[in-house]
Structures are given as structure tokens and as C-alpha cells.
């Protein structure tokens, strides 16, 4: 059986994290707190939190080197009900919704090369749903990558290595070109003058409305800005789902988590430093060129394209379209490859379709891969994946918190279990993550309750499903 090596684990973490977010969300962060320092702070905090989480997850992954990852950790520390609610949320919204969103991002940028692929090019209008050529291409991408991964781990491994390498090299080139070749010292100096400019900016009736921030208002704005940067840093846990197919998983998964997260967090921070050396943070939404619009008002929030325009001129749109297509293609390959292994673990516990626990003739969970593809395609065609992902970020952070609390629970309850890796800085660094994540969730409750309530509803809809599924399973096996 083909196994993934340490380098594949690192690439799976990095490849799943690097999607289209790094090229887009900085615009929204810049409008939330209009200072370059706060932009970098948002990415720094997101990277720090993700790395702290990875340090804690490393201990859990060494203790339970089995396919299923976070689902297994929650089951071992708490009970099957909690772990099912996590798995339910991941399948129904997080993984499949992300697959849909990333596939649509691929299609939208494909439209820069082939205009026929557009969300405005409606192929089928059923009244309650409209299907565009871009959505159709998105489904084709999901089906193709699922088919490729169903053919065996070696194919997913090949795509993983090639596309993640290209993504890492591409981000490194943006950093090098932005900081050394095309750097505009005047722009950097302008951004330094307003580096800690604490104000929020929005467009209302065609006019820029700004609001000065201080004290609690500033902290809340920083927390709100973290939604985009944290989501862009998400999917780092995917490597733990596929532990059963990694060489020496008790050693290599902890290393993959730490190396992969550390690498991407550093790249994301430096890319934003490059943006601030190429573009003014503030700008005018009505300006005619990318430079004058600044980071805040980049066209369709495409900050990466705006920065590339400053460096390469008119050809930037094509260059960035190709780069983001590569990035999203590789990102979806990693999510599709890893996600099915968690559903396989759920099925082995009698908490998902029984057939999902079996491998196909290529020694991969083929049925689980295709169920994942079907639901991701449905979300893609429905057009509701974006709103669902907005809603679910709150519950994702809740699950991260309770998973890291599991480190403390298992230290007390199961002190004798082998721990090839122990969480660095225990008990302080895991506690710091819990504190930061709890503050983030509290901020969302106060500022965006319209996101938090639906997020919890999605999770708890899984409760009756769990009890029905367990009853059916017990009756069937009695």
C-alpha cells in the first residue's frame, strides 16, 4: 500500500490552507481597521492562534494516530455524541461547503481566461435555483478530483506534491518581488504614517463613511477582522484525518502540523507586508486604477490582482487568474483527499452510511469520496455555500476550543497512554489558544449574533440525527 511521507503531510497542511483567501480577504480587514499595522496584526494573530492550535493537536495526533483525526480525539476525550456533532458539522457545511466555495473560486478565475465560464452565464433557470456555466465547471472540478483520488492515494499524492510546490513557490515569488524588486519606498512610508490608524471604513450611498475606533470598539473591530484571516488559515487539521495512510503517523503527523502551519503562517504574513510595499492601504473606490483604489477598495476585493497589476501591468489579471486556479485546484485536492477518511471513521462507529467504512479496490474510501462529492456539488449548485460558511465559523472555533481542552482532560484521565509528542508550553500555550479563541467567539456573539445563532442551529440539528442513527444501527446489529 502506498503511504504518504512527512513531506506529503506538510504539503497536505500547507496545500489545504493556501486557497484564494490570501489574495482577497485583506481588503475587508483593511476596511475594518484602516491601518497597515492592524492588517498585519490580524494575520499575525490568526497565524499565532493556528500555530498554538497545531502545537496542541500534535499531542493528540501522536496519541491517536488513526484516520479520523479530530473526530477521534473528541470521541476519546468526551463521547460519541460530541464527536458526531463535530463530524456532522464538518460534512454538512465545513468540508463540503469549502470544497464548493473553492471550486467556484477556481471557476470564477477561469472566466478571466475563458469568459464563457461566468456566474452571469445562466445555463438553466428553474426559478428557485439558477445554474451558471461557472457552477457547472465547479461541479466538473469536484467530480474530476474525486475520481482521481478514488483511483488511489498515489494520484492524490502526485497532485498534492506538484500543486502545493507551485503554490508555495508562487507566494515566495510575490514576497521576493514585492519586497525586493518592485518595492515602492514612498508607498511604504505613506502606509507607515497611518500604520496604527484605528478607524473603520464603509461605503454608503456612494460615499466613504469612516468611524474612529478606540478601547473596546477597537478590540471588537480587530476581532471582526480576524474572521477572514482565521478562515484563510483553516483546514490545517486535514492531515490528521488521513493518519492511517501516513508513514509513522505518531511522529509524522505532529511534525506535519507544526511545519505546515508555521510555513503558511509566515508566508501569509510576509505576503501582506509585500502588499503594503506595493499599494497604499487607503484609497478611493471610484478611482480608475488599482494603485489609487488601494488595498481597501481593490476591485472585487482582489488585492493579489491589484498588487500584481502594480508589478506586471495589464498582464497581471491573467497571471493572478492562473495562480489562483492552481492554488484552488491544489487546495481542493487536499480537502477532498483527507475529508473522506473522517467520514470513514464515523461509518466504522456506526454513525454514517455503513458502506463508507470500506475501501475500494484501490485501497481508498471510494464510497465516502463520492458521497462527499455529491453533497459538495449540491451545495455548489444551490449557491448557499458562502452563507453557510459564514455561519459555521463560530461553531468551528467552538470545536477547536473543546478539542484543545481535551489535552487537559486526557492528561488527567489517561496519563499512562504513550505520547510521542507533548504539547509545547503545556499548560500555558494551550490555555492561551483557548483564551484567544474564546475572546474571538465572544466578539462574534456581540457583533455578529446573526452568524452565531445559525451556526449553533446547524450543529444541534445533528442531535436528533445522532439518536436516530444510533437507534437504527443498534436495531440492525442486535
> From CA 366, how far away is CA 357, in angstroms rounded?
9
pLDDT the model gives residue 1: 59
pLDDT at 238 over 90: no
pLDDT at 289 over 70: yes
List pLDDT tens digits, range 375-429. Answer: 999 988 887 666 666 677 788 889 999 999 999 999 999 999 999 989 999 999 9
DSSP 8-state code for residue 170: H
pLDDT the model gives residue 475: 65
Q: Where are the alpha helices (DSSP H) in 180-315?
A: 185-193, 215-232, 238-241, 249-278, 290-293, 303-312
Residue 152 φ/ψ region, left for φ over 0, alpha for ψ in the -120 to 50 degree band, beta for the rest: left
For residue 322, give the nearest of 312, 310, 334, 337 by alpha carbon: 312
pLDDT at 367 over 90: yes
Find out whether the peptide bond into 427 is cis, omega within 30 degrees of 0: yes
pLDDT the model gives residue 448: 78
Query: What is the bridge-based pairing of β-strands 130-132 and 207-212?
Result: unpaired
pLDDT the model gives residue 14: 93
**Of residues 214 and 87, more confidently modeled:** 87
The three-state secondary structure class of 62 is helix
Confidence of residue 331 (pLDDT cuts 50, 70, 90): confident
Confidence of residue 86 (pLDDT cuts 50, 70, 90): very high
Q: Which three cell numbers stand for residue 181?
A: 524588486
Confidence of residue 430 (pLDDT cuts 50, 70, 90): very high
- pTM score, whole prediction: 0.90
Amino acid at each position: 500500500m502506498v503511504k504518504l511521507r512527512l513531506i506529503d503531510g506538510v504539503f497536505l497542511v500547507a496545500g489545504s490552507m493556501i486557497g484564494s483567501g490570501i489574495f482577497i480577504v485583506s481588503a475587508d480587514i483593511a476596511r475594518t481597521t484602516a491601518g497597515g499595522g492592524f492588517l498585519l496584526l490580524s494575520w499575525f494573530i490568526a497565524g499565532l492562534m493556528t500555530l498554538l492550535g497545531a502545537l496542541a493537536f500534535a499531542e493528540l495526533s501522536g496519541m491517536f494516530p488513526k484516520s479520523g483525526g479530530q473526530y477521534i480525539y473528541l470521541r476519546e476525550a468526551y463521547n460519541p455524541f460530541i464527536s458526531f456533532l463535530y463530524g456532522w458539522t464538518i460534512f454538512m457545511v465545513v468540508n463540503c461547503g469549502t470544497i464548493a466555495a473553492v471550486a467556484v473560486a477556481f471557476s470564477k478565475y477561469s472566466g478571466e481566461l475563458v469568459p464563457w465560464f461566468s456566474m452571469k452565464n445562466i445555463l438553466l433557470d428553474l426559478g428557485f435555483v439558477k445554474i451558471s456555466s461557472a457552477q457547472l465547471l465547479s461541479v466538473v472540478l469536484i467530480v474530476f478530483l474525486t475520481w482521481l483520488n478514488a483511483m488511489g492515494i498515489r494520484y492524490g499524492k502526485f497532485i498534492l506534491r506538484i500543486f502545493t510546490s507551485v503554490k508555495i513557490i508562487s507566494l515566495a515569488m510575490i514576497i521576493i518581488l514585492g519586497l525586493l524588486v518592485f518595492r515602492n519606498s514612498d508607498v511604504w512610508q505613506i502606509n507607515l504614517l497611518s500604520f496604527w490608524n484605528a478607524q473603520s471604513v464603509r461605503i454608503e450611498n456612494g460615499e466613504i463613511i469612516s468611524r474612529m475606533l478606540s478601547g473596546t470598539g477597537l478590540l471588537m473591530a480587530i476581532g471582526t477582522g480576524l474572521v477572514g484571516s482565521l478562515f484563510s488559515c483553516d483546514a490545517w487539521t486535514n492531515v490528521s484525518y488521513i493518519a492511517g495512510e501516513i508513514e509513522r503517523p505518531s511522529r509524522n503527523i505532529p511534525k506535519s502540523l507544526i511545519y505546515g502551519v508555521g510555513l503558511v503562517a509566515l508566508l501569509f504574513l510576509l505576503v501582506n507586508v509585500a502588499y503594503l510595499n506595493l499599494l497604499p492601504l487607503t484609497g478611493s473606490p471610484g478611482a480608475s486604477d488599482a494603485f489609487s483604489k488601494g488595498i481597501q477598495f481593490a476591485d472585487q476585493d482582489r488585492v493579489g490582482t491589484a498588487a500584481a497589476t502594480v508589478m506586471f501591468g495589464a498582464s497581471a489579471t491573467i497571471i493572478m487568474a492562473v495562480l489562483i486556479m492552481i492554488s484552488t485546484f491544489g487546495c481542493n485536492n487536499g480537502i477532498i483527499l483527507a475529508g473522506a477518511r473522517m467520514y470513514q471513521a464515523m461509518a466504522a462507529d456506526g454513525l454514517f452510511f455503513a458502506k463508507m467504512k470500506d475501501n475500494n479496490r484501490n485501497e481508498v474510501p471510494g464510497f465516502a469520496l463520492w458521497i462527499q462529492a455529491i453533497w459538495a456539488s449540491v451545495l455548489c449548485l444551490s449557491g448557499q455555500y458562502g452563507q453557510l460558511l459564514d455561519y459555521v465559523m463560530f461553531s468551528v472555533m467552538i470545536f477547536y476550543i473543546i478539542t484543545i481542552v481535551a489535552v487537559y482532560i486526557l492528561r488527567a484521565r489517561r496519563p499512562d497512554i504513550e505520547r510521542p509528542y507533548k504539547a509545547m508550553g503545556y499548560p500555558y500555550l494551550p490555555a492561551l489558544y483557548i483564551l484567544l479563541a474564546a475572546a474571538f467567539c465572544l466578539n462574534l456573539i456581540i457583533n455578529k449574533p446573526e452568524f452565531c445563532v445559525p451556526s449553533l442551529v446547524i450543529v444541534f440539528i445533528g442531535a436528533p440525527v445522532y439518536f436516530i442513527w444510533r437507534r437504527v444501527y443498534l436495531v440492525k446489529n442486535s
